[in-house]
């Protein structure tokens, strides 16, 4: 789960997190896989793990170079679809509509084909012959019959360390895709005047780790010069590179891998330091916020879903032996999982340490301790890693006494489970292309390419005993460049007031979370080559999604989903929620589309927006399943083991193979959904000859990534959606308001959200957006919004290509300010409750434990006496905005959302002013769960606008009055739910936000 750039613990490390509590304390929103578990406040800053507080990723390079007229003309002549990068060269080239390649007939050798294409198209690329001939080969990775060719520029004697790359998809002598960060100017930069040690100190200062660190040289490895820095944990590695500048030329620079790992606040950056000035040119934040035959006891997916202490672990063995449930030896791991070649290539370590992964207890892991090389599982002379599991953390209700018990909170079992799961993910991913040449993670690469000495380092029960903060409800992955050791932290989970309500469980046993975190390392290593990773909000969102999707596919293909559990729910064990887990939606029940970027309660955020990519990819996956079948258990297992060629596998395997192939076809990490869509289409051309381009386009079109979808940058929170299928049937649709809204300007949104979503059509002639849209055949949910008409939902089905007009049925909103209604009452922003806009909020900002019941807003209805039969109310939160003129600068904590309300009515007369409580009578009381949030925290789908029929009520004034917020009225968040005396869980009494409540909309209708 990656953060907002290469990413912080708001999503994940590279580190990304699965469920970061910490936002609860810091006011920064929650991070990790959970996205924003509780919002920004929590019970006590000493109790909750802080989210990632690294400085994030930054690119300080100025300017941009525009493509020349000659380049544009050359590409116009060949008809390729092009997007330009900051260097004035093509960022992305895709075949013209209807074409299958950019060029063909170029030969049999993939690298030669790629180089020939570049040489033939120097004019459109803006490169000289010397610039093309000097390109270095980084990797040629086979993709079925084709290949992804990654080449890197050279500036004098220095290779490009950041940007300066091109990835070319080649199959059967044809080039089908190109992505690049190539620079036109490859002249030799001025030489370095600073030393490598100077660069390390500059990078450490920039990271906030040390102002003037004492360094000790640790020798060199694979081109890296290594140092240890006083006061830090981890090796600081540096090598000379060139960094191309968008405004021309390149700078001599040092690429510095900075590492100072901790559970609460890990630092893992790749920093590019100007070798003459010491300035930081670029910083990538890599933290994403999940006998002789050895045997392992492991939960295939997770312990029992009812949290009983029944031990359902399987016995996994390297080779078949008596009592073995699953043989795990396979060619992806040439050595048994407990052999570490840095110690011995033949002898076991007799613990949870091997070529692919080190797993060790990290109870005291706080800033400065990092990976605990002494905390491996208790050694087993017979290689039987079958330690007892007693479910101690759950059965003691999160009692700290578990650590001092003889069982030590089942830590040996946790180490073993994490070790086995990481190895399984290594082997699964290897068969899909995450191999040594694609920069995977191993002690020894056996001469197969890539850099070695970088096994995954797994911290189990990380930070469990840290006394300065409560490090819980989270998981993260930190992954630096190839050859540097990545780290994952798996945490304990427990309920915390007003922040996150999970059961008392150990994340080391939830494979959906473990697999999620491991996949952050996969996507960050494979996209953009060995030294860069995913950067920016849309890339970070896809990183979160790929982590969900890959872990899910691993479980499905291996037949490891326990009976009764939904394979498409991430984190159901650690959250106690079997319906959506740690997300807003299950992957398979997801209505989101590309117009919904920023839909969630916190606005644009990588975990929430990653769910959009989940929905898009599920549509693609199921389209392939529809064509190739879901497969039997035996077929899927054979495909997962690499025993059956992928072109003979069911649809799910074909889809996940396209995902992995697409990684290698993207030459930079600053990718948008549109870039990744094109990479998947190119992957289908390379591996399968374009066999499924029709299905892919149809699935993309139906989820908003059709032919005209566009994003200005990968940080674009308002990208342009498109529902146009360029290869399949579609229809031109015109939208027309009817009933009360005839001729009125209204907006049409595809999906379930209006707030922060982008409309597909607009009937206002004053705007550039037309009242028409081209849409692929299918069924669509719509939200229609108009000033004076509130929001309404309707569903349309487009069954043929005939142009048609869709009537939009809207009624007059009697409680709309646009119709003359006014609002007054408690709190701030009362008028925003009646502005026909779900993106704005009314709020009461009381102190902790102040009563919210009875607070409310009185609306003077438009047009005098009215009869009201229906109200619509929304509890959706808006992103925090300190500049809000209404004064709501409080944290947008999920638990402050409205839960239950009532509607009071008053009819003004000569003697009744409708200003006193006695003037009103109760017209309607909502159900106690009007907005039915559940564990582990409220989510957007249950807080959006809902319609409530009320008894026919005649009134001039209506009052929306709070009965309870989610914090004060939801029994799921009440009472003391653990045996940890230091951690309160009752939201109403212990959460700082308990005196706050918010609502987004109040609308009233006569019919």
- Burial state string for 550-578 with b = 16 or more CB within 10 A and e = fewer than 16: bbbbbbbbbebbbeebbbbbbbbbbbbbe
**Are residues 283 and 267 in contact, defined by beta-carbon separation less than 8 angstroms?**
no
For this structure, is 218 an active site residue?
A: no
DSSP-based three-state secondary structure for 627:
helix
DSSP-based three-state secondary structure for 740:
coil
Q: Residue 304 corresponds to which tokens in the numbers above?
A: 């029992």
Q: Residue 543 corresponds to which tokens in the numbers above?
A: 């990183």
In degrees, rounded to 5, the angle at the alpha carbon of residue 623 between the alpha carbons of residues 754 and 698 is 55
CA distance 921 to 322: 75
- Among 290, 517, 544, 611, the active-site one is 517
DSSP code at position 814: T
In degrees, rounded to 5, the angle at the alpha carbon of residue 809 between the alpha carbons of residues 898 and 811 is 60
CA distance 295 to 809: 65
DSSP code at position 139: E
End-to-end, the C-alpha distance of the chain in Å comes to 46
In degrees, rounded to 5, the angle at the alpha carbon of residue 601 between the alpha carbons of residues 596 and 604 is 50
Cα–Cα distances in angstroms (integers) from residue 409 to residues 303, 392, 508, in the given order:
15, 6, 12
**Are residues 991 and 496 in contact, defined by beta-carbon separation less than 8 angstroms?**
no
Count other C-beta atoms under 10 Å from residue 726's C-beta. 18
CA distance 405 to 496: 24
DSSP-based three-state secondary structure for 217:
strand
DSSP-based three-state secondary structure for 621:
helix
Question: Which residues on adjacent β-strands are paired with residue 734?
Answer: 772, 805
DSSP-based three-state secondary structure for 759:
coil
Q: Is 678 exposed, middle or buried (0-12, 13-18, 19+ CB in 10 A)?
A: buried
CA distance 522 to 543: 9
CA distance 982 to 976: 11
CA distance 538 to 515: 21
φ/ψ (deg, to 5) at 779 = -110, 135
CA distance 185 to 661: 30
**Are residues 605 and 625 in contact, defined by beta-carbon separation less than 8 angstroms?**
no
Which residues are known to be catalytic? Answer: 517
């Amino acid at each position: 789960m990656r953060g907002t750039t290469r990413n912080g613990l708001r999503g994940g490390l590279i580190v990304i997190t699965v469920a970061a509590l910490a936002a609860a304390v810091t006011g920064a929103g929650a991070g990790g896989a959970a996205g924003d578990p509780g919002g920004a406040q929590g019970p006590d800053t000493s109790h909750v793990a802080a989210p990632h507080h690294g400085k994030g990723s930054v690119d300080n390079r100025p300017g941009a170079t525009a493509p020349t007229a000659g380049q544009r003309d050359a590409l116009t002549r060949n008809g390729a679809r092009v997007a330009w990068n900051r260097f004035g060269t093509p960022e992305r080239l895709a075949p013209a509509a209807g074409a299958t390649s950019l060029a063909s007939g170029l030969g049999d050798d993939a690298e030669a084909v790629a180089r020939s294409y570049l040489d033939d198209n120097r004019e459109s690329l803006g490169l000289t012959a010397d610039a093309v001939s000097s390109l270095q080969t980084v990797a040629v990775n086979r993709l079925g019959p084709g290949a992804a060719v990654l080449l890197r520029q050279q500036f004098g004697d220095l290779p490009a360390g950041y940007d300066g790359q091109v990835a070319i998809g080649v199959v059967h002598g044809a080039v089908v895709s190109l992505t690049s960060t190539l620079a036109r100017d490859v002249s030799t930069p001025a030489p370095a005047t600073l030393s490598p040690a100077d660069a390390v100190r500059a990078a450490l200062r920039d990271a906030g780790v040390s102002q003037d660190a004492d360094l000790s040289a640790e020798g060199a490895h694979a081109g890296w010069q290594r140092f240890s820095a006083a006061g830090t944990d981890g090796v600081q590695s540096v090598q000379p590179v060139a960094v191309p500048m968008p405004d021309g030329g390149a700078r001599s620079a040092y690429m510095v891998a900075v590492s100072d790992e901790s559970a609460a606040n890990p630092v893992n950056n790749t920093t590019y330091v100007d070798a003459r000035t010491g300035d930081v040119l670029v910083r990538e934040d890599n933290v994403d916020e999940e006998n002789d035959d050895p045997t392992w006891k492991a939960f295939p997916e997770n312990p029992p879903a009812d949290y009983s202490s029944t031990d359902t672990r399987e016995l996994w063995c390297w080779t078949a032996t008596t009592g073995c449930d699953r043989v795990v030896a396979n060619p992806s791991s040439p050595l048994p999982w407990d052999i570490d070649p840095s110690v011995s290539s033949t002898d076991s370590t007799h613990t949870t340490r091997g070529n692919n992964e080190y797993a060790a207890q990290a109870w005291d892991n706080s800033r400065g301790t990092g990976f605990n090389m002494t905390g491996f599982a208790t050694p087993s002379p017979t290689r039987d890693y079958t330690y007892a599991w007693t479910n101690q953390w759950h059965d003691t209700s999160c009692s700290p006494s578990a650590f001092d018990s003889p069982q030590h909170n089942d830590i040996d079992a946790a180490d073993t489970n994490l070790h086995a799961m990481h190895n399984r993910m290594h082997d699964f991913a290897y068969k899909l292309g995450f191999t040594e040449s694609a920069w995977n993670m191993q002690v020894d690469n056996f001469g197969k390419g890539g850099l070695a000495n970088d096994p995954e380092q797994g911290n189990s029960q990380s930070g469990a005993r840290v006394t300065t903060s409560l490090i819980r409800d989270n998981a993260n992955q930190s992954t630096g460049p190839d050859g540097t050791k990545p780290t994952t932290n798996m945490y304990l989970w427990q309920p915390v007031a007003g922040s996150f309500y999970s059961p008392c469980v150990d994340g080391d046993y939830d494979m959906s979370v473990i697999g999620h975190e491991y996949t952050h390392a996969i996507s960050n290593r494979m996209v953009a080559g060995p030294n860069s990773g995913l950067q920016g909000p849309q890339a970070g969102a896809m990183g979160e999604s790929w982590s969900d999707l890959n872990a899910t596919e691993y479980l499905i293909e291996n037949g490891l989903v326990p009976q009764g559990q939904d394979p498409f729910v991430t984190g159901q064990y650690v959250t106690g929620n079997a319906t959506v887990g740690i997300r807003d939606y299950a992957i398979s029940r997801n209505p989101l589309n590309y117009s919904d970027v920023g839909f969630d309660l916190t606005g644009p955020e990588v975990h929430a927006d990653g769910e959009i990519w989940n929905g898009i990819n599920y549509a693609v996956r199921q389209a392939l399943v529809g064509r190739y079948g879901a497969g039997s258990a035996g077929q899927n297992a054979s495909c997962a083991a690499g025993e059956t060629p992928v072109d003979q596998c069911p649809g799910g395997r074909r889809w996940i193979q396209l995902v992995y192939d697409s990684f290698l076809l993207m030459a930079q990490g600053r990718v948008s959904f549109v870039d990744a869509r094109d990479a998947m289409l190119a992957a289908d051309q390379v591996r399968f000859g374009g066999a499924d381009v029709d299905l892919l386009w149809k699935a993309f079109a139906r989820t908003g990534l059709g032919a005209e979808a566009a994003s200005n940058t990968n940080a674009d929170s308002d990208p342009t959606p498109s529902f146009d299928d360029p290869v399949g049937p579609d229809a031109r649709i015109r939208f027309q308001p009817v009933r009360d809204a005839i001729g009125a300007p209204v907006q049409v949104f595809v999906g379930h959200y209006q707030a922060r979503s982008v409309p597909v059509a607009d009937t206002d002639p004053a705007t550039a957006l037309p009242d028409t849209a081209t849409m692929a055949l299918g069924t669509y949910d719509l939200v229609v919004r108009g000033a004076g008409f509130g929001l309404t939902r309707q569903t349309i089905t487009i069954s043929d290509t005939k142009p048609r007009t869709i009537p939009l049925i809207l009624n007059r909103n009697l409680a709309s300010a646009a119709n003359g209604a006014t609002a007054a009452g408690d709190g701030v922003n009362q008028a925003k409750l009646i502005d026909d806009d779900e993106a704005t909020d009314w709020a009461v900002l009381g102190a902790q434990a102040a009563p919210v019941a009875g607070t409310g807003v009185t609306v003077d209805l438009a047009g005098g006496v009215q009869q009201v039969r229906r109200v619509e109310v929304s509890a959706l939160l808006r992103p925090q905005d300190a500049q809000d003129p209404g004064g709501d600068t409080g944290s947008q904590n999920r638990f402050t959302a409205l839960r239950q309300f009532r509607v009071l009515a008053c009819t003004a007369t000569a003697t009744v002013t409708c200003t006193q409580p006695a003037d009103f009578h109760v017209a309607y009381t909502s159900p106690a769960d009007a907005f039915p949030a559940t564990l582990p925290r409220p989510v957007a789908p249950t807080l959006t606008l809902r319609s409530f029929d009320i008894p026919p009520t005649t009134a001039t004034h209506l009052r929306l009055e709070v009965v309870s917020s989610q914090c004060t009225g939801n029994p799921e968040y009440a009472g003391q739910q653990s045996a940890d005396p230091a951690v309160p869980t009752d939201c109403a009494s212990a959460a700082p936000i308990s005196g706050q409540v918010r609502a987004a909309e109040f609308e009233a209708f006569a019919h």
